């Protein structure tokens, strides 16, 4: 009887241990994060589906986390393994380096410094540059014959500006822009949610906003991007940033991510953004079709 009880107890313990193990997160799971705007979610989903289709790794999506610092701190602290970033943002906002305009120099510096300072690695760039776009209504551009930021400076004392919180405070954002172009506004710029910038512009709540060059709504609405004629903004090449130990643990993963290199043009990214933002299509389906068309794979 004692033997039977021992066996029964042993089997019960083994069952409990198996149940506990099943509840533990798998070591082959990758956590992908993104910032809180449409393009980032699309890029995060592209990374997720690419990994799911090319490897046996599981992916956990932690999208819409917040701004640059939230994602950077998350990956440094190990809360996420991977997220999409832009070279110019990393160069000025994270590394705190003075603005330069050479895309290759910016990217190489960022790649080297991220390894040295944070043990983070960059993938091959996706193929597009997503810079800040200072946007006004088309009617105002035509009325005042405005094409450049220098020309717009004469009108801004009568205007109200609307910016995201991060743009108001970052090294390559509003403080330096206003000095470069001597921009003065009727009052303090309004702090707006990034998803409401163009609506506020169209509703005449503001007269100038800081969007992005790949925003889908730029080609769908009567809006004009003012030329950065003094070349204030640095290049913003998009790529994936990953923890170095992730590539050490999964050596094939770098090649899987690098397959996305050069696959996204600025026009293609704008198109994907518009399908999600303007047409309200499902992000996962949009990404699936993109991967099928450009890499012949999707989950």
Residue 27: per-residue pLDDT: 55
Rama region for 78: left / alpha / beta (φ>0; ψ in -120 to 50; rest): left
The per-residue pLDDT for range 162-189, each reduced to its tens digit, is: 999 989 988 789 999 999 999 999 999 9
Predicted local confidence at residue 299, as pLDDT: 54
CATH class, 132-226 region: alpha beta
Question: How many angstroms separate the CA atoms of 260 and 246, rounded?
Answer: 18
Query: Taking the complete model, does pTM exceed 0.85, yes or no?
Result: no
Q: Which residue has the tokens 């510096």?
A: 109
Report the run of H or E that residue 88 belongs to, with start and end.
helix 87-89
Give the pLDDT confidence score for residue 169 in this predicted structure.
87
How does strand 58-66 pair with strand 29-35? Answer: parallel
Q: Assess contact for 35 and 65: CB atoms under 8 A.
A: yes
- What are the residue ranges in the chain where pLDDT is below 70? 1-27, 297-299
Whether the domain at 29-129+235-294 and the domain at 132-226 fall into the same CATH topology: yes
Check residue 7 and give its pLDDT: 47
Contact indicator for 118, 241 with CB cutoff of 8 Å: no
Task: Report the C-alpha gap between 234 and 153 in whole angstroms.
Answer: 20
Look at residue 240 in the predicted model and tell me its pLDDT. 98
Express each pLDDT in 70-99 by its tens digit: 999 999 999 999 999 999 999 999 999 998
* Rounded distance between C-alpha atoms, residue 11 and residue 110, angstroms: 55
The pLDDT, as a whole number, for residue 297 is 58
State the fold for domain 29-129+235-294. Answer: D-Maltodextrin-Binding Protein; domain 2 (3.40.190)
- Domain spans in the chain, listed from the N-terminal domain onward: 29-129+235-294, 132-226
pLDDT the model gives residue 21: 41
| Range list of H helices, 94-181 | 103-118, 138-144, 149-152, 165-169, 174-181
pLDDT of residue 16: 45
């Amino acid at each position: 009887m004692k033997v039977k009880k021992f066996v029964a107890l042993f089997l019960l313990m083994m069952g409990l241990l198996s149940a506990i193990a099943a509840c533990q997160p798998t070591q082959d799971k990758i956590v992908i994060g993104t910032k809180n705007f449409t393009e980032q979610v699309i890029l995060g989903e592209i990374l997720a589906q690419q990994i799911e289709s090319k490897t046996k790794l599981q992916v956990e999506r932690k999208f819409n986390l917040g701004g640059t610092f939230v994602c950077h701190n998350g990956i440094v602290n190990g809360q996420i393994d991977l997220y999409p970033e832009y070279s110019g943002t990393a160069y000025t906002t994270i590394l705190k380096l003075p603005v330069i305009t050479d895309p290759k120099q910016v990217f190489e510096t960022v790649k080297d410094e991220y390894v040295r300072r944070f043990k983070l690695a960059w993938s091959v760039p996706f193929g597009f540059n997503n810079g800040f776009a200072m946007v006004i209504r088309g009617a105002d551009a035509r009325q005042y014959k405005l094409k450049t930021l220098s020309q717009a400076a004469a009108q801004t004392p009568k205007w109200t500006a609307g910016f995201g919180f991060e743009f108001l405070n970052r090294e390559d954002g509003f403080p330096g822009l206003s000095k470069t172009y001597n921009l003065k506004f009727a009052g303090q710029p309004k702090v707006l949610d990034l998803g409401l910038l163009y609506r506020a512009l169209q509703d005449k709540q503001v007269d100038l906003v800081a969007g992005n060059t790949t925003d889908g709504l730029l080609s769908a609405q009567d809006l004009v991007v003012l030329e950065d004629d003094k070349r204030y903004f640095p290049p913003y090449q998009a790529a994936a940033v990953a923890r170095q130990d992730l590539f050490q643990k999964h050596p094939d993963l770098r090649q899987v991510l690098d397959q996305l290199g050069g696959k996204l043009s600025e026009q293609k990214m704008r198109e994907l953004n518009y399908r999600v933002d303007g047409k309200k299509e499902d992000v996962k389906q949009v990404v699936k079709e993109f991967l099928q068309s450009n890499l012949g794979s999707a989950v």
